[in-house]
Every structure is written in C-alpha cells, then in structure tokens.
Amino acid sequence: MDENKDASLLVIVLDTNPSQRIIREKPHNLTQCLDSIVAFANAHLMQKAQNKLAVLACHHHATQFLYPTPGKPLDIRQVDGQYEVFTLVEKTIKQKLAHMINTAPPLTTPTESLLAGSMSMALCYIARINRNKAPGSKINSRVLVVTGSNECASQYMTYMNVFFTAQKQGVVVDVCALDKALSLLQQGCDITGGQYLRLEQLEGFLQYLLWVFLPDPQMRCKLVLPPPVKVDYRAACFCHRELIDIGYVCSVCLSIFCKFSPICTTCHTVFKAPAPIAAKPKKKKLKA
Ligand SMILES: [Zn+2]
Ligand SMILES: [Zn+2]
C-alpha cells in the first residue's frame, strides 16, 4: 500500500537542436515529436495525482526548462472537458520552445547537442525536488532523453559523471534514440537500470513512448518490453575523444589514452617509457 503513495518525478530531456538529421530533413518532425512528448507527459501526470513532471529542451546554444517555468505559471483559460494541468503543460511547453527557437542565434555550422549538460541540469533539478519534499514521502525519479543526435564522444567525461551520479542517487536514465545507435547513452541506461530504445522511424513514436517508457521502472519487470540489446562498453580516449577497443590507462587517475604518453595529461604523473619485455626478468634476478 505504501508504494501507492510514492510520487514519481519524470524529467524529459528533449533534443531540439536543428542540426539533427531528422529535423534538418523535415522540420515538421519536431512538431510531431513535441506533440507526442506532450501527450506522453500528460499520460504520466494522469497516472497519479502526486506525479511530477519537468521538461528540458537541449538546443544548439543552451538548455532551458520548458516546464515548469520559474515564476508565475501561465494564465490558462479552462478548456471544457480538459483537466487544467494538461492545458497548462501543453501551452507552457509550446510557448517556451517557440520563444527559445525564435531567440536562438542562427546556426551557421552543425553543432553537437550538449546533452550531457542538459542531463546534469535534470539531475540538479531532481536533487532540489528531493531536498524540498515533505518528510516521510518518497519520490521515484527518472530522466528520459529523446534525441536524434549522433554520438558525442567529446562529452565522454561529463556523460560518465552524470551516469554514476544518477546511479548513486537512484535515478533511472531512459533513452529513446531517434536516429543512430548511441553507445554512450546505452551505457548510461545499463548503469542506471533504464531502458534504451532505438527507433528507425518516427511513425508510432507516441505508441513506443507509452509502451516502453510510461511504466515505472519497478513495474517494468512484469511487462513484456523490447529485449535488452548487447551494450557496447567501449570507452573514449581522453586525448582524441574517440571510442577505442584497446588503450593505455593511467594507473593513478584511470584516464584512458589511445597511445602511450610519458606524462599523464590529466594528473601529470610521469611514467617510465615501457621497457622491452625481455629485459624485465633479468633485472629482478640481479637484485635477488
Ligand atoms: Zn586518443
Ligand atoms: Zn593520470
């Protein structure tokens, strides 16, 4: 019975960067995505009166909260037959996103989305909500990332910090990839116990959201969901930010490099150049 009292906080991080292939090729896709996200967000709020929602937009120049907004909420005229909160969510999200897109600096070259930063903001928001919650109450929090961007290995460190912070705070990270497979975000889902889903087309986007991401993580083990995919656990080297299979690891700070370097660029530890393998046992023998 106690479980029924728990509120659930859903933070949606929506990638709205115009550099994404799906938006570049067909700008209308963003509208379709947004409509599905709003319907999905309202479905989450509908499940339980205590449920909470936050929506962040990750644009090419900044990340902003689309909902809730700081300050006074919008004045909403009641629509007959619709729960006021649903109207408020839809109007606020659309108005804020339109404002964000209209005031964004023009995009000259395609830029990568700073998703890792947006996810950090989501975690900060969750931490704040948890700090201010009523004593004795419990909030189950999760983050859903919806993106059509490519893999950004340049944000490797931030991603890893986000994933392990989320894991420590018991926040589940779900990812819905709309274009390419994203191995780093997939690692995040695996680390935090979330769902990773890659859609090859936008048709049925809302149906997929409702099927895979609406149920609470505690409920998911009882449902038939897409089978888990094999996680690509490659790390990105700190020197070139590229995913590598085999590399050198600093024994002091665990930084990863694709080539041997005598000084670790992260912690400045000096290493001896690797000696020829045959020479080592000889030295040991002499000492003994
Ligand atoms: Zn490298
Ligand atoms: Zn080091």
Answer yes or no: do 23 and 110 share one domain. Answer: yes
Answer yes or no: do 248 and 181 share one domain. Answer: no
67-81, 185-199, 204-218: lowest mean pLDDT where?
67-81
- Cα(247) to ligand 1 centroid in Å equals 8
The model's pTM:
0.85
Per-residue pLDDT of 158-168, as tens digits, reads: 899 999 999 99
Q: Do residues 37 and 67 lie in contact, with contact meaning Cβ atoms separated by under 8 Å?
A: no
Q: How many domains does the chain have?
A: 2
Q: Is residue 58 part of a domain?
A: yes
| Ligand number, closest to the Cα atom of 257 | 1
Closest by Cα among 43, 76, 37, 72 to 57: 37
Does pLDDT of 16 surpass 50? yes
Answer yes or no: do 209 and 271 share one domain. Answer: no
Answer yes or no: do 75 and 178 share one domain. Answer: yes
| Ligand number, closest to the Cα atom of 268 | 2
- Cα(116) to ligand 2 centroid in Å equals 23
Q: Is residue 285 part of a domain?
A: no
Residue with tokens 């926040």: 171
CATH number of residue 165's parent domain: 3.40.50.410
Q: Is residue 66 part of a domain?
A: yes
The parent domain of residue 183 ranges over 6-222
Per-residue pLDDT of 43-100, as tens digits, reads: 999 999 889 999 999 998 899 999 888 777 777 777 777 788 898 899 999 999 999 9
Q: Is residue 79 part of a domain?
A: yes
Answer yes or no: do 89 and 135 share one domain. Answer: yes
- Cα(271) to ligand 2 centroid in Å equals 10
- Residue 140 exposed, middle or buried by CB count within 10 Å (0-12, 13-18, 19+): middle
114/178 Cα distance (integer angstroms):
16
- Cα(275) to ligand 1 centroid in Å equals 22
| Ligand number, closest to the Cα atom of 237 | 1
- Residue 81 exposed, middle or buried by CB count within 10 Å (0-12, 13-18, 19+): exposed
Answer yes or no: do 141 and 265 share one domain. Answer: no
pLDDT band at 209 (very low <50, low <70, confident <90, very high): very high
Specify the pLDDT at position 288: 47
